[in-house]
Structure 1
Amino acid sequence: MRIYGVIGWKNAGKTSLMERLVTDITARGFTVSTVKHVHHDVDLDQPGKDSFRHRAAGATEVVLASAHRFALMREHRGPEPDLSQVLARLAPVDLILVEGYKRDAHPKVEVWRAEAGHPLIQPGDPLVRAIATESQLPQTVPVPVLDLNDTAAIAGFILDETGLPRTGPAA
């Protein structure tokens, strides 16, 4: 599977870019899955609901299934799984876009905004292959600088980097 990351500091615009990239790349005919790293505990369940009761009883995995989707909740009851363990759980797709996991070893685009007040990540991470911004960079960088508002160009860059054709899969 092809994996590409979108990283940046809080409030840089990562999630907005991810949403636009998924829309653009799927419109080109590719299948895309996403992984979002969060730094807080996530629980889709509510106390008292059947699935919550299943987990509280000790189930390792609980699936919520309906006519239009299913959600798999897995209790790991230990250290946070690394990205490779998370990716191993996904069904095959053309591209997995990863938001966060900025220290992991996969190629990435850094989203950077001057007003967020954080330094660039790229100078310390050779896997940051481009910077997407609408701000003036504080320094010269050895990677392409992309217009954060030009989703098609960023999507094209990612497709080129992953070896996927810009025009979508052959019919």
Structure 2
Amino acid sequence: MIPIVSIVGKSDIGKTTLIEKLLPELTRRGYRIATVKHDVHGFEVDREGKDSWRHKKAGAHTVVISSPHKIALIRDEEKDLTLEEIREKFIREVDLILSEGYKKDVQPKIEVFRKGKYKELLCTKEDNLIAVISDQAFDMGVPCFFLDDIKGVASFIEKRFLTAQKGRDVILKVNGKTVPLNPFVKGFLTHTLQGMLTSLKGCDAPSTLDLHMEGIGKE
């Protein structure tokens, strides 16, 4: 499962700037990063008069714009999606998701704080605060980094969320929902499926396995 870290803080505190600095540092270390920006006011990414804009205005529920190097998706949603829902629906083939905002979501949070702008932090440990980045020290029971310590923050994220992800992992989904698995069940599934694969042609030394089953509850 792709880990999520939310960069939070009050308005104009430097959340976007922090993400801009973290991205090249994490990318330099070989990680693929996705970002999610929360906009409570709504937004438009298309331009009036463009073909894709006309498709959407004509009633398309989903519009995909595709080119040889980029792809974009615009679709209607009935509610504000959680970060977990966004991850499950839209994000693949990355090592980490950095979100900007989502202070009310349950995901781990790193708060940016500047003493000259506000008097107190936005989050506490009860809000799943895992670190603070600030121009002053805090005794919050979580690590505190200076604003310019980008390598330190990147190393903290790497150690806590990325290094631990390396190696084997097993994800089970039933009816589209992820089912938590303990280490014993993960090991059992891994060894069982590996044993089955050894008897099949063209399945030598698999590194990943995707298994999809339908109609298993029907007689």
TM-score class normalised by the smaller sequence: 0.7 to 0.9
Q: Which residue of 2 aligns with 1:62?
A: 63
Q: CA deviation at 1:118?
A: 5.0
Q: Is the contact between residue 6 and residue 110 of structure 2 (CA under 8 Å) also seen in structure 1?
A: yes
- Please, what TM-score do these two structures have when normalized by structure 2? 0.69
**C-alpha separation between the residues in 2 aligned to 1:102 and 1:132?**
15
Gaps of 5+ in 1: none
Between the two proteins, the alignment pairs up a number of residues equal to: 164
Q: Which residue of 1 aligns with 2:85?
A: 85
Rounded Cα–Cα distance in structure 1 between residues aligned with 2:157 and 2:125:
20
Runs of 4 or more, structure 1, over 4 Å off, are none
State the match for 1:98 in structure 2.
99
Map residues 9-28 of structure 1 onto 2, 5 A cutoff.
9-28=10-29
Alignment of 1:131-150 (within 5 A): 131-137=132-138, 140-150=139-149
Within-5 A mapping of 1:17-56: 17-56=18-57
Q: Contact 1:9 / 1:118 at 8 angstroms: preserved in 2? A: no
Deviations along 1:30-56, one digit per CA (max 9) or x if unpaired, are: 111111111222111122221111111
Between 20-29 and 37-46, the greater mean CA deviation after superposition: 37-46
Matching residue's letter, 1:41: G
> What is the letter of the counterpart of residue 161 of structure 1?
R
- 1:18 CA displacement: 0.5
1:45–1:156 CA distance, 2 compared to 1 (3 A):
same
Partners of 2:103 and 2:119 lie apart in 1 by 14
Are 1:128 and 2:134 an aligned pair?
no
Percent identity of paired positions between Structure 1 and Structure 2: 35
Unaligned runs of 5+ in 2: 168-219
Which range moves more in the overlay, 142-151 or 121-130? Answer: 121-130
Quote the Cα distance in structure 2 between the aligned partners of 1:83 and 1:29: 24
SS at match of 1:62: strand
- Distance in 2 (CA, whole Å) between partners of 1:45 and 1:126 is 35
* Whole-angstrom CA distance in 1 between matches of 2:107 and 2:117: 24
Higher relative contact order (CA closer than 8 Å, sequence separation 6+): 1
Aligned partner of residue 146 in structure 1, secondary structure:
strand
SS at match of 1:116: coil
Contact map agreement 1:114 1:136 (CA 8 A) in 2? no
Structure 1 residue identity aligned to 2:114: R
